[in-house]
Structure 1
Amino acid sequence: MKALLFVFCFFLAMPFEAQRADSIQVGTASFYAGKFEGRKCSSGEIFRQNKLTAAHKTLKFGTWVRVINLRNDSSVIVRINDRLPRSSRRCIDLTKRAAQRLNFLSKGVTKVRIEILKDSLP
């Protein structure tokens, strides 16, 4: 019985383990302009402002990251589905929905920490 309880608790804790960050990046985040709605992303997906997705310079498409606004500690989890130009001074470009969750729509940009979620790498 104890062994069964142990196994149950082990599997119950697994989703929380999967949410730990694998690596961290700090930089400036911005969000997409409205003119990109309906256009194709670099991944081939259609861009939608109401999704929780983002563009990054180097992360593989499909990677899930936690973005934390360092000005107010709010956070959001987004999936990378687009590419930023290598010349960009931003480290991530978010949808408006993600920017709303991070509370920086009125400012346009904010300082963020990006944590790659350990078990999300494609």
Structure 2
Amino acid sequence: MIQYARHLARGEPWTGRGPDADSPRAFLGLVATGPTVVGDDRSWTAGMLARHAHDALLVDTEGHGFLQGAYLNPRLDVLVVHGASHRVGRGDESPRASRNAARFALGLLARLPRTPDAC
């Protein structure tokens, strides 16, 4: 799934058309996960992330339980698609981020091969 996502992120058209077609970009990489929203780049959490997870693209507060459950079933191929809706020091961009993430996820699903045992 990661290879399909990389191919899609490298330039396949996935943004669709619409009033907010703003040429979003997709990034694949590591995600830090935990119960804390990082609201200030001078906070203790931001400092800890800078020291120990500097290569993380974002902080996720929801997906850890999902991925932990998926890990328990080795037959599942899973991938989490995020829309970056909050940036430290900036406002909430949730509606646009959600639409862009949904467009990417639908573009990815459309490219996956169909298999007889798929649910």
Structure with more strand by fraction: 1
Q: TM-score, normalised by structure 1?
A: 0.24
Q: TM-score, normalised by structure 2?
A: 0.25
Structure with greater contact order relative to length (CA < 8 Å, sep ≥ 6): 1
Structure with more helix by fraction: 2
